[in-house]
């Protein structure tokens, strides 16, 4: 699968601007068409702004002004880098519309929820599960100019993990190093999954990707913490992971690798469900 159609969700924050620049870089690298989506916040309440002495000027929403500024930034980035694209503005509560949009793209780029974006009309986990397409979630803290040079693939043999690896292939095409990692609770589990781990690493190698298998015992540490710690050790710029083997409701109550990665991510994470 080639990445020819990319959607990025942006907002009037520094992290939103960084997400746009990352998306433009991905679109340029893959000669892709780039669309942007801006969702008005749920708590959006129009606030009348009038110029002094002009009480009859039409009311203008502060959020509408923010949206227009972000659209201008998006269009200027497209012109500067000669990338084709289009703009989508969604009203509060239109998460279903965003899901429908994401279904028609090779890759959707979202931001991790932050204190500034908690009032957004969608959650990344909802889009990941409902869209059926690969979703790249970018941390709200930090700067990320590129993804796919040094990569950590979380492998557990599930269909979601297999889907994520396949969806990530275009982003791994020029990787310098890819570590495919299985984290087990016991030695017996590691032995059981070793053939699968070696097969998927070999599969990536046959695609010309420099993949190496790696195993780890998690001990008393959460799987997500093991992955994030190893990602820091390897200085990766991307984690690839299957998403939500269990229901969102179950993971909301008892936790899970997907939710913990989304909550504590330090580098962009590509997820597929």
Q: Are both 171 and 101 inside the same structural domain?
A: no
pLDDT tens digits along 116-145: 655 554 688 889 989 999 999 999 999 999
Q: Are both 128 and 154 inside the same structural domain?
A: no
What is the mean predicted confidence (pLDDT) over 233-259? 74
Q: Are both 14 and 130 inside the same structural domain?
A: yes
d(CA 264, CA 209): 28
pLDDT tens digits along 6-54: 999 998 888 999 999 999 999 999 999 999 999 887 654 444 444 554 5
Closest CA to 265 of 152, 157, 158: 152
Mean confidence (pLDDT) of the chain: 87
**Domain that includes residue 13, residue range:** 5-138
Q: Are both 78 and 161 inside the same structural domain?
A: no
Let me know if residue 145 belongs to a domain: no
Q: Are both 209 and 119 inside the same structural domain?
A: no
Q: Kind and range of the H or E element at 211?
A: strand 211-217
- Cβ neighbors of 84 (< 8 A, separation 6 or more) are 33, 34, 78
Q: Which of 138, 169, 191 is the last residue of a domain?
A: 138
pLDDT tens digits along 73-84: 999 999 999 999
Q: Which of 104, 138, 172 is the last residue of a domain?
A: 138
d(CA 68, CA 138): 23
Q: How many domains does the chain have?
A: 2
Domain CATH for 155: 3.40.50.620
Are 134 and 243 a contacting pair, CB within 8 Å? no
Let me know if residue 144 belongs to a domain: no
Are 13 and 66 a contacting pair, CB within 8 Å? no
Are 161 and 154 a contacting pair, CB within 8 Å? yes
- Cβ neighbors of 70 (< 8 A, separation 6 or more) are 10, 11, 12, 16, 36, 38
d(CA 71, CA 132): 27
Let me know if residue 196 belongs to a domain: yes
Q: How far is CA 163 from CA 159, 160, 196, 257, 260, in A?
A: 6, 5, 14, 16, 20
pLDDT of 64: 86
DSSP 208: T
pLDDT of 46: 47
- 3-class state of residue 83 by DSSP: coil
- 3-class state of residue 272 by DSSP: strand
Q: Is the pTM of this model over 0.75?
A: yes
Q: Are both 19 and 132 inside the same structural domain?
A: yes
Are 23 and 8 a contacting pair, CB within 8 Å? yes
């Amino acid at each position: 699968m080639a990445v020819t159609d990319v959607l990025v969700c942006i907002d009037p924050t520094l992290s939103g601007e960084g997400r746009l620049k990352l998306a433009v870089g991905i679109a340029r690298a893959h000669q892709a068409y780039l669309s942007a989506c801006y969702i008005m916040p749920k708590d959006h309440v129009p606030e009348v702004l009038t110029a002094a002495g002009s009480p009859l000027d039409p009311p203008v929403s502060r959020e509408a002004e923010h949206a227009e500024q972000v659209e201008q930034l998006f269009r200027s980035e497209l012109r500067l880098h000669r990338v084709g694209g289009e703009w989508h503005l969604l009203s509060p509560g239109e998460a279903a519309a965003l899901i429908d949009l994401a279904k028609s793209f090779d890759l959707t780029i979202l931001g991790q929820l932050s204190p500034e974006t908690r009032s957004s009309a969608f959650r990344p986990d909802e889009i990941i599960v409902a869209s059926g397409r690969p979703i790249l979630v970018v941390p709200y803290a930090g700067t990320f100019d590129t993804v796919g040079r040094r990569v950590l693939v979380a492998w557990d043999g599930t269909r979601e993990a297999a889907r994520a690896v396949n969806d990530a292939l275009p982003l791994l095409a020029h990787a310098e190093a890819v570590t495919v990692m299985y984290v087990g609770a016991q030695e017996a589990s590691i032995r059981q999954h070793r053939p699968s781990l070696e097969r998927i690493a070999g599969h990536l190698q046959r695609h010309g990707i420099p993949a190496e298998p790696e195993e780890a015992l998690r001990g008393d540490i959460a799987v997500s913490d093991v992955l994030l710690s190893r990602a820091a050790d390897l200085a990766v710029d991307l984690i690839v992971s299957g998403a939500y083997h269990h229901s969102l409701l179950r993971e909301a109550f008892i936790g899970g690798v997907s939710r913990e990665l989304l909550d504590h991510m330090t580098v962009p994470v590509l997820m597929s469900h």
